[in-house]
Each structure stands twice: as C-alpha cells, then as structure tokens.
Structure 1
C-alpha cells in the first residue's frame, strides 16, 4: 500500500449488516490474538539468558505475515471471515501452548 494511504481509503463502498460487522470485528480480533501470541513468544525468548535470534526473527516474520492477512480480510466475504475467525483463534492457542 502506498505510504500515506490508509486501509480504509482502499475499501469499496459496502453496506454492513450488524451480523457482518460483528463477524468481521471478531475475525480481526482473532488475527490480533495471533499477533499477540507471537509477541508473547518474542518476550519469552528475549527474557532468556541466551535468546535464540531465529525464534525471534520467525515470530516477527509471522507477525508481519498476519498483518498482511488481516489487511486482506473482506467483510463481504462471509466464508473468508468465518474461516479466518476459526483459523486465527486456533493459531493463537497453538502458539501460546508452545511457550507455556
């Protein structure tokens, strides 16, 4: 995306139902949960005496990938939104399970 242009500037006009709005927001929150899980991985690794820089780099790369995927969510695509909600919530659980 060109610098200085927000994501909302790129959106096409769309009438949102309350259901679509809630589902979209839940999908975004699921992605944010996965991004946060990777933040926990980074924090846990950085707190070690000898942090593994590869673990940190992989977590940062995952966060960047997730940010891009979050930008690709389209409220009008119900199947995509439903799949994203399930997929990213599961990913967050898996990532968190790996650091506990």
Structure 2
C-alpha cells in the first residue's frame, strides 16, 4: 500500500480573491445592516409579545420563523450581485420601518 504525498502547494493558494470598490463594500454592509435591522425588529416584537400576560404563541412562532428566514437571506447574499444587494437594502429597510411603526 503506497502512501499519498501531500500537495506542496497550500490550499489557500487555490482560493481566488474578490475585489470590490468602496461603494460596493458599503452597499454590501448596508444590505447586511438592513437585514440585521429586521432581525432586531422581529426580536423586539417577540420579546414584547412574550412579556404579555397571555402571549400569542402562534404569533411568536411566526416571527421566529421569519427571523430564521432573514438569516438565510443574509447567508445567501452575494456581494458581487449588485441588483440583489440593492433589492435587499430596499426590501429589508422598508420591512424594519414597517415593523417598528406597527
């Protein structure tokens, strides 16, 4: 049985870089913050509902589910997809405002 010899080149050498402009990095961070704002708004609603004498468990469950969906959106955010970044910023900033106003 022969032992395989490890590659001489480190794995990191095979990873390609991603370059982006200041505007792109700011837009990406703003999209992340928009999602995080919505997560925070759902968290506040969950806390407020659970603090009631008779909390609505279905409502808490729904908000937790939506908060989990936001985590998935955040994970799938592609910094190279400018249209997705712009849409996420618009959609989740508006959602945060709506959740905070209601």
Distance in 1 (CA, whole Å) between partners of 2:16 and 2:52 is: 46
- Residues 26-76 of structure 1: per-residue CA shift (max 9 Å, x gap): 000000000000001101101110000011101110110000001111111
From 50, 53, 77, give the equivalent of 1:49.
Answer: 53
Q: 1:74 aligns with which of 71, 74, 78?
A: 78
Identify the residue that residue 18 of structure 1 maps to in structure 2.
22
- Structure of larger gyration radius: 2
Q: Which runs of structure 1 show a deviation greater than 4 angstroms over 4 or more consecutive aligned residues?
A: none
Q: TM-score normalized by structure 1?
A: 0.83
Q: Which runs of 5+ in 1 are unaligned?
A: 1-10
Structure 1 residue corresponding to 2:89, chosen from 85, 90, 93 = 85
Query: Structure 2: which 5+ runs fail to align?
Result: 1-14
How many correspondences in the alignment?
A: 88
Q: TM-score, normalised by structure 2?
A: 0.82
Q: What is the aligned-residue RMSD (CA, Å)?
A: 1.4
**Could you tell me how far 1:13 is from its partner in structure 2?**
3.0
| Residue matched to 2:100 | 96
